[in-house]
């Protein structure tokens, strides 16, 4: 996996955490859930990249 992919996934996860925190602070359940969803997507992408790396080695 390239460094750019790692950075992109990390940025997406960080953005999800920020959305979740903002949603929690403003009592906006929709924004909080959206942030959790963004984090989950980033984690799934990261897991997929890890699987690809495992097969390359």
Q: What is the value of pTM for the model shown?
A: 0.83
Residues contacting residue 5 through CB under 8 Å, at least 6 positions apart: 49
CA distances from 55 to 2, 8, 9, 48 (A): 15, 21, 20, 11
Please report the pLDDT score of residue 39 as a whole number.
Answer: 97
26 phi and psi, to 5 degrees? -100, 5
How many residues can be counted in the chain?
Answer: 57
Higher pLDDT, 7 or 20: 20
Measured from the Cβ of residue 17, the count of other Cβ atoms closer than 10 Å reads 15
């Amino acid at each position: 996996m390239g460094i750019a992919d790692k950075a992109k996934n990390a940025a997406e996860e960080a953005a999800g955490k920020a959305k979740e925190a903002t949603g929690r602070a403003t009592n906006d359940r929709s924004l909080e859930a959206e942030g959790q969803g963004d984090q989950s997507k980033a984690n799934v992408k990261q897991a997929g990249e890890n699987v690809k790396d495992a097969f390359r080695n």
